[in-house]
Structure formats: C-alpha cells, structure tokens
Structure 1
Amino acid sequence: MGFPVGGSGTYAEIPAGLRKYHSGEDVDVVYDPADPTHARTVEEVNTDRFMTLFLIPLAPLATVTYFAGRSAAGWFRRHRAVPRTGWHPASALVRRMYWSSPLLVVTYPRAGEIALWGVPSAHRAPRYETDEPQRAWVGGPLRAAAK
C-alpha cells in the first residue's frame, strides 16, 4: 500500500485484516513518523507481530516446561534418595481425595505410619483405591515415618 509522507511516496506492507480493500480506494493510514514503514489502517487492530507470532505461543510452552521441570526435579530427588537409604517394605492404602491428588497412607512394620500425597503420574494411583492395604516398597529415609 502506498501513501504520501512529507511530499514523497512511501510504501509499506499492511497485513489485510477482515476487510477487503480495493485498488484505488481511499484508506486512512496511521504510521510512525520515525519509521513510516510501520503503518496500519485505522480500521485494523493494532497488533504486534512479535507478540502474536512468538510470545502468545510461548506462554503454553512455558507453562508445560515449568510443570515438567518441577516433576522431573521431584523424581530426581527421589531417585537420589533410594541409593542412600534403600527400599523399605511397607503396606499402602490409597484414598481418593476429590479435587486434589490421592492420599497414600503408608505403614512401615517397624517405623510407624505416614500420610503421603500422590504426585501426577501415568500410573493413576486412584485406580488402586481399595479398603485393603496393598504391599509396597518405599524408598527414602524412615525418619519421616517415625513417631
């Protein structure tokens, strides 16, 4: 689209919006005097291409990365704890807590009982919900379960 700036003709590419323009039609144009190639029509929404093409798709990616990082850090912490402390036999009872993660009540034969919140997992702990304790092996220090 061409428009006059200070007596000379300037050309800028203005993305077509919902409205179709015809050749020779008068169109009101708003432009930056410091850089006349940054222009838009007064009928178009003032959008920044950087924002729409980069930042908006980046928001969901950042959210997924944040939660994946937190999950990976938790699994890494648990992975490091097991070689130091070993695996401990226990029994576990899974209780479904609506609107939150499942609650696991773990009983150690010689160390007492502890309640643990479940974490997001592909194994879906709530499907193991039962009234009977299930055999389990738990890694990590027993001091948290000691009474």
Structure 2
Amino acid sequence: MDLGTTNEEGGRPERAAEDGEPLLPASKPTGRARKRMRRHELAQRERARRGPAAPAEWDRALRRRFWRAVVAATVWFLVIPAAAVGITVLQNSSDWLLQNGSTARGEVVAVRTPVSGHGTPTIIVAYLAGDVYEQQEINRDSGAGYTVGQAVTVYYDPADPERARTDAEQNLSDGRMGVFVVPLVLVLIFLPFAVAYAVGWAGRRRAARRTGWAPVAAQVFDSSGGYHLLRLEFPGGAHLVARTVAAVRGRYSFLRKGPFEAWVAGEGRRLVLVLPSGPRGPTPYAVPLRIPRGSKWSGR
C-alpha cells in the first residue's frame, strides 16, 4: 500500500490520490516551519537590498575617501607657506621705504587709542612731501607711546606720498595683514583635525582588510548631538550602537532616511559603514563610525 508523499516542511505524510479520488491539497506549514520560511524570505530580501559582497569595490571606496582627506589636509597645510610669503611681502614693502623712500620731518598731531581695547592704536602724523602738506594715520605697531607735538622722522614713497612709515612704526595695513593672518590662525586650529581625519581613514581601511566585512542593517535613532547615532543590526540578532564621525555638524544627514542594508568592517572603536549607493549616485559610499567609549568591536 502506498502511504503517500511526505511534506518536507510540515513533516507529516500525505495520502496519495487513488483512481477516481480528488488529490488533497498539501497542508500549510505551521509553527517552526513557518518561522524558518519567514526568516529565509527576510534574509533573501535583505541580501537583495544590500547587494552582493564586493570587498574590492568597497576598498576602492575607502581609498577614495582617504585620498580626499589627504588632499584636504594638504590644502590646509599649503596655506601656511602662502600666508608666510604674504606677510613677508608686506614687511619687505615697509622696509623698502626705509632704504629707498624720501625722508621728511613729521609731527604727531593726534594720538588715538581704542577705548574698548579692540582695534589698532594709531597716530596722525603731519609732514611735507615735497611741496604738499600730508597728514597720514600710521599704525602703532611697536606699541611705543606718543604725545601730541612729538617730532618723528617720516619715510614715504615719492610716487605715492600717502604710503608712509616712521623709524619705529612699520605701518602695516590691518586689512592686508588680516588677509594672511586670519587664514593662518584658522589653519593652526583646523589642520590637526584634517590630519587626524586622513589618518583615521587610513586606519579604517587597514582594519577592513584585516577583519573582513559583515552584513548589517543600519538605522539612525538620534541626531540631536550634531552627529548621528546608529543602531547596527546583525543577521544573528546581535546589535551595536555607533556614531558618525565628521568635521561638519549634521553631515551624513541622508542616513536619517534609513534603515539601510549595508556592510560594516573595522576593529576596536573605529568602524566604517559602506552603503550600496550614496547621496551622489549609485556607487558605494563609505561612512566613518566610532563606537562609544567602553565598547569595541572585533569584526565578524
């Protein structure tokens, strides 16, 4: 006697149809079988959204981010010699008056000192440039004190008598000096961060090569601190919390449109998340992440 076929999912035998008897439909999976089917469908859907594993392509994405960071740090660094050259040119222009300018006897007719302490102290000096009476405001670069009626020696440019200085005061223009001094100050502040950013990308790329990549579902759950906190869900049920790393507040705001199916790699507190596509096109996009203190990840 034929006992019929076996339902692989439910595990129960089904009686085969005999001659003249309608075939009975297979029973629907229940319990654990249904859960296994559901997990299998979800896994297939996640793999389709995440895309196939492509370590070589992701390594190129990390390499692009690294070299962009290197170029940015290099540009910041080049501001230092550019600002130094500009300041030197201004100082040489003032020194040129001492060596090649015309000389005149001048008299201090006013002394100006900012009351609030903001601004540059100056003196107003009157002198004869040939047959023309001139009065020029000269910056007190040396910090020396002056009184009205005090005699000073003025050096001026015969072709431009308004360009003048004294023995002690270079009279460097605040506006021209600011063009070079302000960028120099900004470089001294931001260059260390730019260098650290490039070094961080290099470390993340090396770590990704060592540890390999793991599939993950990423979802932003908090953006109140200027960066984005993400919950990383792994296929086995484990999860991890990490935040974005950026020099500009609010960067990677497109992550709030998630969840995203992606890949993650790294070790310690430094991770990198690679999305199948970024905000600028359908090419892999790498996002640097950092795990909060007290936690770490050792790869998959």
Identify the TM-score tier after normalising by the shorter chain.
0.5 to 0.7
Q: CA deviation at 1:109?
A: 1.6
Q: CA deviation at 1:58?
A: 1.7
Q: 1:128 to 1:56 in 2, by over 3 A?
A: closer
Hey, what does 1:144 align to over in structure 2?
297
Hey, what does 2:261 align to over in structure 1?
135
Hey, what does 2:252 align to over in structure 1?
125
Matched positions, count? 122
Flag the structure with more relative contact order, 1 or 2, with Cα contacts below 8 A and sequence separation at least 6. Answer: 1
Aligned AA (2:235):
P
Q: Matches of 1:92 and 1:69 in 2, distance apart?
A: 28
Contact 2:232 2:242 in 1 (8 A): yes
Aligned AA (1:126):
S
Q: Matches of 1:40 and 1:133 in 2, distance apart?
A: 64
Q: CA deviation at 1:107?
A: 1.3
Q: 1:95 to 1:18 in 2, by over 3 A?
A: farther
Q: CA deviation at 1:2?
A: 4.8
Q: 1:92 to 1:121 in 2, by over 3 A?
A: farther
Deviations 1:11-68 (A, max 9, x none): xxxxxx68463417865449xxxxxx85139xx8x99xxx868655421122231121
Percent identity (aligned): 28
Hey, what does 1:34 align to over in structure 2?
none
Q: 1:52 to 1:65 in 2, by over 3 A?
A: same
SS in 1 for 2:126: coil
Moved more, 77-86 or 17-26: 17-26
Matches within 5 A, 1:18-57: 19=124, 21-23=126-128, 28-29=151-152, 38-40=167-169, 56-57=182-183
SS in 2 for 1:109: coil
TM-score where L is the length of structure 2: 0.32
Aligned AA (1:80):
R
Aligned AA (2:263):
W
Q: 1:18 to 1:67 in 2, by over 3 A?
A: farther
Hey, what does 1:76 align to over in structure 2?
202
SS in 2 for 1:39: coil
TM-score where L is the length of structure 1: 0.59
Aligned AA (1:144):
W
Structure 1 unaligned blocks of 5 or more? 4-16, 31-36
Aligned AA (2:254):
R
Q: Matches of 2:233 and 2:225 in 1, distance apart?
A: 25
Contact 1:91 1:134 in 2 (8 A): yes
Structure 2 unaligned blocks of 5 or more? 1-102, 106-121, 135-148, 154-165, 269-295
Hey, what does 2:236 align to over in structure 1?
110
Pair 1:88 & 2:220 matched: no
Matches within 5 A, 1:8-27: 19=124, 21-23=126-128
